Amino acid sequence: MLPIQFLAKLSPQLKQYLVITGNYWAFTLTDGALRMLVVLYFYQLGYSPLNIAMLFLFYEIFGVVTNLVGGWLGARLGLNKIMNIGLALQVIALVMLAVPADMLTVVYVMAAQALSGIAKDLNKMSAKSSIKLLVPQGDEKAESKLYQWVALLTGSKNTLKGIGFFLGGLLLTVFGFKGAVMLMAALLALVWLFSLVMLKEDLGKANNKPKFNEMLSKSSAINKLSAARMFLFGARDVWFVVALPVYLAVTFNWDHWWVGGFMATWVIGYGFVQTVAPLITGKKATDKTPTGQTAFLWASYLIIIAVAIALVLHFDFYIRTTLIMGLFIFGVVFAINSSLHSYLIVSYADSDRVSLDVGFYYMANAMGRLIGTVLSGWVYQHYGLEACLWISALFVGFAAFISTKLSRAT
C-alpha cells in the first residue's frame, strides 16, 4: 500500500501527526549526518578544534534567531508552511556544500551551516508545536497522553540523529564529502515534495495575528523553563559537539568509523530513553505527570554524574572504560531531563500562541547549544576534556536551581 493511500484511511489528527513525525525523522537523519561529516572531514583537513567549533557558530546563532522569529511566523502563516520551508532550506544548504574542496572556506561553510541551522529550528519548532494542537486537552489523562506523544517524537528524533552520526561517518568513507551531501540532498528533496502534497492544513495559525513585539514570552513559567533549558543543553554540548569526537580520535586513536559509531550509539540510546521516559517519570496514563520538582530531581542526578566523569579524567582512572561507561550513564539521565523539559514546555504553552511560546523556549535551547559549542572548541583546545566536564556540571547546577522555581501551572 502506498504511503498516501495508507494515510488517507487515518483520522485527520493521526494523519498529520504521522506526516509531521516522518518529516522530522527524515530531516533529523540529514542533520545528524551533516554534523558528523563536517566535524570529521574538516578535522581530517587539518582544522583545529576551535576552528571546527566556529564552523557551527552561525548554525547556532541563526538557531537562536530562527526559533524566536519562526514562532511568530508559525502563528501567522501556520506550522505546516514553516515545516515545508525548513525542509527546502536544508536541501539548499546540502547542495551548497557539494562544491570542490578548495571552495569550502570557513566563511562559506559557516554560511551553509547558518542556512542548515535555520532549517533545523524551523522544522523542530513546527513539529513540537503541532503536537499541542493534535492531542485533546483538558484533564490529567490528556496531559499524560501529551507527555507520551512528545516523548515519542523527541526520543525517536534523537535515535535517528544518532543513526545520522553513524551514517555521516559511513557516507564520508564510502562516497566522500561531496558525494555524501549530494545523496542526502536528493533524498530530502523527495521528502519535501511529499510534504507539500500531504501538509495542507493551517495548523497552528493563531486566531488573532500576533504582533512582532509579542514574540517574547509573558509567562513566568515559560521564562524560567527556558532559562533552565539553556543551561541544560549548554551542559551537554560543552563536551559533546567538538571536544568528545576530537578526544576520541586523538587520545584513543579511533578512526572515522569508530568515532561516528560511538557518537551514534550514544545518541541512539539517548533517543530510546527519551521515548520511554514517561514510563520512568510519569508512569501510566492515569498517573500524575511531571512537575518542576521532577525536573529539579533529575537535574541533580546529572550533576553527580558529570562530576564523577571529571574526577575519572583528573585521576586517570581506567579512562577508556570508565569514560565510555560514564558518558552512557550521563546520556541516560540527560535524556530523561530533556524529555521532561520537552513535555513541560508543550504543557505550559498557550494553545492560541503555542508556536510563539515553543519558539521562545527553543530560542533559549539554541542559545545553550551556541554557548556549549563555542566553549567545547575553546575550552578543549586550551584546557582539555576534563575542564569541559567541570563546566558541564556547573551548567547543570544552574539548570537544577532554576527548576526549583517552576510550578505545575503556567
**Per-residue pLDDT at 388 exceeds 80:** yes
Cα distance between residue 366 and residue 176, in whole Å: 29
**Per-residue pLDDT at 285 exceeds 50:** no
Per-residue confidence (pLDDT) for residue 371, from 0 to 100: 92
Q: Is the CB of residue 49 less than 8 Å from the CB of residue 377?
A: yes
Average pLDDT over residues 44-60: 79
**Per-residue pLDDT at 284 exceeds 50:** no
Mind listing the pLDDT tens digit for each residue in 161-207?
888 888 888 888 889 889 999 999 999 999 999 888 877 666 555 55
Mind listing the pLDDT tens digit for each residue in 206-238?
555 555 555 555 678 888 999 999 999 999 999
What is the CATH code of the structural domain delimited by 9-403? 1.20.1250.20
pTM for this model (two decimals): 0.74
Cell readout for 224 is 524560567
Q: Supply the DSSP string of 284-331, one letter for each residue.
A: STTSPPP-HHHHHHHHHHHHHHHHHHHHHHHTT-SHHHHHHHHHHHHH
DSSP label at 79? H
Per-residue confidence (pLDDT) for residue 100, from 0 to 100: 87
Average pLDDT over residues 48-63: 78
Q: Which range has the top average pLDDT, 246-250, 266-270, 382-386, 405-409?
A: 382-386
Per-residue confidence (pLDDT) for residue 14, from 0 to 100: 67
Average pLDDT over residues 11-27: 76
Residues with Cβ within 8 Å of residue 11, at least 6 apart in sequence: none
Q: Is the CB of residue 231 less than 8 Å from the CB of residue 365?
A: no
Average pLDDT over residues 315-323: 90
Average pLDDT over residues 304-312: 95
Domain ranges, ordered by start, for the chain? 9-403
Per-residue confidence (pLDDT) for residue 409, from 0 to 100: 43
Mean pLDDT of the chain: 81
**Per-residue pLDDT at 118 exceeds 90:** no
C-alpha angle 190-194-196 in degrees, rounded to nearest 5: 115
Cell readout for 94 is 546540502
Per-residue confidence (pLDDT) for residue 410, from 0 to 100: 41
* Lowest model confidence (mean pLDDT) among 32-36, 126-130, 155-159, 379-383: 126-130
Per-residue confidence (pLDDT) for residue 196, from 0 to 100: 85
Per-residue confidence (pLDDT) for residue 208, from 0 to 100: 57
**Per-residue pLDDT at 15 exceeds 80:** no
